[in-house]
Structure 1
Amino acid sequence: MGTLSPSELSILLVEPSDTQRKIITSRLSQEGISNIQTASNLQDALAIMTRHHPDLIASAMHFEDGTALELLKVIKETDAFCDIQFMLVSSECRREQLEIYRQSGVVSILPKPFSSEHLGKALNATIDLLSNDELDLEHFDVHNIRVLVVDDSKMARNIIRRTITNLGLKLITEASDGAEAIELMKNNMYDLVITDYNMPNADGLALTQYIRNHSQQSHIPILMVSSEANDAHLSNVSQAGVNALCDKPFEPQLVKQLLYSLLDD
């Protein structure tokens, strides 16, 4: 698939408020998007998704018949829907309420009200996830790069896998936490580790410390993808030897730039 433009995107807007639906539809139209369907609740959204497969769902958080998290779960667990991208549009600003969405692989979290810049970045991230744009590396054949993806969230691993697969990386091994990753690294060689920070058994810091101090692959590039807001934690992982930090939900273009920096340095 070549690179899309925003005008080619098909969007399903799921929003219980008539006023908000009109406002968001108008903002999407201003970005050149004309293929917009709307639903006011989860039941209608699922019916529309079954009839017509959108590229992106822009969803509020709460509905009379459930929450956006329930809709997101159906999308991620249904083969027919799993390549639909999901964007949360919410006035919720408490990090603890948004954390589960960050961990679930949403393409973006837009505030209410959002700016044209916010919307443009979210749409571009969606396009990047739907398009194949392989890395053109000077020192590596991108198809031969061995990647270890470490995250306790299967949904988060799926979104990372999809993003880097679109960039041409095909040799991908997954681990559900740092302890499993450490065992894999004892018997396998990798060219890149992409890891979460918060994980059971052994977190991203413990994994980084193992790689840098005890493994036979101490110079392997490490990209940490985390929603961790604690500056002390981030300082610790940087000092431990993480090469690059990327926020959740991460933007494919940023990931591409980081991978160029890590692998073609």
Structure 2
Amino acid sequence: MASNPHLSPADLHILLAEPSAVQRKIIGNELFAAQIESINEADSVLSTLESAQKHSPDLIVSALHFADGSAIDLLQQLRASEATADIPFMLISSETRQEQLEHFKQAGVIAILPKPFKPDDLTTAIRATLDLLTQSELSLEYYEPDQLRVLIVDDSAMARKLIRRVLTGLGIQYFTEAEDGAQAIGQLQAETFDLVVTDYNMPEVNGLELTGFIRNSAQHAHLPILMVSSEANQAHLQNISRAGVNALADKPFEPDTIRQILTRILG
């Protein structure tokens, strides 16, 4: 779908991937109640991939388990194809184990909804999808968004891609990527940046250690840092806050949340 600042839920084309006919009907009714009118259905990993290739939906809403694989398999195959790599993905699952959901958070899904979910949860996820599909440039007093130099640090290539896509939608054009904190430190020593967006959990040097390096560097001490994290441990969150990050966003995050955060920390 082409970028359009006036999109509404009724403009979205949804692909609902769910093996159970009963669950497809329940979720379909909830989507219809959220003003989604165009819904295609699939009941397996294979049929979802085929439908996505053929119809290019604006959002895939997927269950976790299928007879021929899982949503992890589906997501990996979607991201591996140029034709489907950028399709927003929403997971609906009764799974509550964080280690199982971590794969999806790191893969840059637009939302993870519990089963059963509340209508407000679905509305929030639909709004995030609309934000991702529309272009609305940041309005900043001291910066031109298209001149901002951003360092994106995340060990997940898919997560980096989603962050970059969200920031591009805000009018930002200049990006450098690093796979972990150690690589980011090398980039910081070689280039100048206006903003660092970093993950928390990374090998070698994590986001907390990277933040410490930046805050203890005479050259970079005042560099704004946005940390994105799926970490729910309260002690870790407190450590992040004390380390000197300017803002913290949960994974998965909403594009409008990132807009508000950047308006604040770059203002």
Number of aligned residue pairs:
264
Q: How does 1:1-265 map to 2 (within 5 A)?
A: 1-3=3-5, 4-264=7-267
What per-residue deviation string (whole Å, max 9, x for no partner) do you get for residues 200-238 of structure 1?
010001100000002511101100000011211121121
Distance in structure 2 (CA, Å) of the matches to 1:47 and 1:228: 34
Distance in structure 2 (CA, Å) of the matches to 1:190 and 1:237: 21
- Gap runs ≥5 in structure 2: none
What per-residue deviation string (whole Å, max 9, x for no partner) do you get for residues 158-191 of structure 1?
0000000000111111000000000110111100
- Gap runs ≥5 in structure 1: none
Detail structure 1 runs of 4+ shifted over 3 Å in the superposition. Answer: none
Taking structure 1 as the reference length, the TM-score comes to: 0.98
CA contact (8 A) 1:107 1:126 kept: yes
CA contact (8 A) 1:185 1:215 kept: no
SS of 1:214 mapped into structure 2: coil
Distance in structure 2 (CA, Å) of the matches to 1:2 and 1:48: 24
CA contact (8 A) 1:11 1:55 kept: yes
CA contact (8 A) 1:197 1:226 kept: yes
Distance in structure 1 (CA, Å) of the matches to 2:241 and 2:137: 28
Distance in structure 2 (CA, Å) of the matches to 1:19 and 1:215: 60
Distance in structure 2 (CA, Å) of the matches to 1:203 and 1:247: 16
What per-residue deviation string (whole Å, max 9, x for no partner) do you get for residues 42-100 of structure 1?
11111211221101000000000000011111111211111211000001111111011
Distance in structure 2 (CA, Å) of the matches to 1:208 and 1:183: 14
Distance in structure 2 (CA, Å) of the matches to 1:11 and 1:215: 49
SS of 1:173 mapped into structure 2: strand
Taking structure 2 as the reference length, the TM-score comes to: 0.97
